[in-house]
Amino acid sequence: MTGYVEGFEGPYCRIEVDGNIQAVPREQVDPKVKAGDAVELKDGKWVTDPAATKRRTDEIKKLMDDVWES
């Protein structure tokens, strides 16, 4: 399962999965995960997917560049 970290609130990490936000207890999230990361569920713990995070970051940057060029 893959998701995107929207941010953190108290003891929870907000992860978007298939368009729905899930409040996941922080103990189920790797401490290295940060807002904006693409994450995947491995052995019951959400961990960063570096390749997916880079692709998403590059895609967002391109969209922003396109907006500012218009």
Burial class (CB in 10 A: 0-12, 13-18, 19+), 69: exposed
Burial class (CB in 10 A: 0-12, 13-18, 19+), 29: buried
Q: What is the pLDDT of residues 3-62, one digit of tens each?
A: 999 999 999 999 999 999 999 999 999 999 999 999 999 999 999 999 999 999 999 999
Prediction pTM value: 0.85
